[in-house]
Amino acid sequence: MTPEGYRHSKEARTKISVALRGKPKPWQIGKHHTEKTRTKMRASLKGHACPEKTRVKIREALKGRPNPRKGIPLSADVKENMKRAQNRSEVKEKRRMANIGRAVSKETREKIGQSLLGKPSGMLGKHQSKDSREKIRQSHLGSLNYNWKGGRSMEPYNLNWAKVSKREIAKAGGTCAWPGCTNLAKETHHINGNRKDDKPINLLPLCKKHHARITGHPKKSEQYELECIEIQILRRVS
């Protein structure tokens, strides 16, 4: 029967796969792709993203198999190429964009935790250079900071803010206004984020823990502001 148009059944493909597993392919022994062929292959795969369904299949097929590269050290040339590829700005930007909004699953976090258990940190005994520290600092300034709120936190308080804050804390009996919290109120929160708005309806005495919780989560700031408003309303009603 001519092979043209013929497809092996799933059972036959599985048998072939099992029979050839771990064996070198006879048509590849001693052969290498030419530079022209490698260039074509690279160009054809550029920008190609492996679909999630395929990644799951590959993951399941490789589960339990030892890494074929385990114990084989990388050559100096390969290490240099990897280092150069990792340092390219376009690669870093692509990786950063791919991870935006991506959350690591609980199962993956547990695997990472187990794999690192008992191992010393890669930064143990190392210190960032002065240039590195300055780059990190510059990358977190102003609007680049994850906690940036349009510059509201840089606005000055009113001159009598200390007296106003103490007054609100005293009115609350010195206790944090967050439901269920019995800690001492040490700070007063502006619900709408405007430090110039010292109206009693806009102020909420809180302990340091809950004040940090509200102001330190930019993704949940709107949710927390609504909760603060509800708390303030309940306080006024009671």
pLDDT digits (tens, 9 = 90+) for 140-187: 887 777 666 666 656 778 888 889 999 988 988 888 888 888 889 888
**Which range is least confidently modeled, 26-35, 39-48, 229-238?**
229-238
The predicted structure's pLDDT at residue 134: 92
d(CA 24, CA 33): 16
> What separation in angstroms does the CA of 230 have from each of 25, 106, 178, 235?
69, 32, 10, 9
Indicate if the alpha-carbon torsion angle 98, 74, 113, 145 is positive or negative: negative
Rounded Cα distance, 180 and 184, in Å: 12
Question: What would the DSSP string read from start to end of 18-65?
Answer: HHHTTSPPTTTTT----HHHHHHHHHHHTT----HHHHHHHHHHHTTP
Residues 214-236 have pLDDT tens digits of 776 655 555 666 677 777 666 65
How far apart CA 71 and CA 67 sit, in angstroms, is 9
pLDDT at 214: 77
Q: What is the pTM of this model?
A: 0.39
| Spatial contact of 164 and 203, defined as CB atoms under 8 Å apart | yes
- pLDDT recorded at residue 2: 46
Place of tokens 């395929």: 54
Residue with tokens 């609980």: 106
CA–CA separation, 63 and 45 (whole Å): 25
Please write the tens of the pLDDT for every residue from 52-64.
888 888 888 888 8
Q: Can you tell me which residue has the tokens 């823990």?
A: 209
Query: Phi-psi region for residue 72, left (φ > 0), alpha (ψ -120 to 50) or beta?
Result: beta
pLDDT tens sequence across 101-150:
777 888 888 988 888 888 888 778 888 889 999 988 888 887 777 666 66
Cα-based angle 213, 216, 217 (whole degrees, multiple of 5): 90
157: which 2 tokens? 């308080």
The residue extents of the domains of the chain are 158-237
CB 74 within 8 A of CB 67: no
Question: CA-CA distance, 205 to 177, in Å (whole number)?
Answer: 6
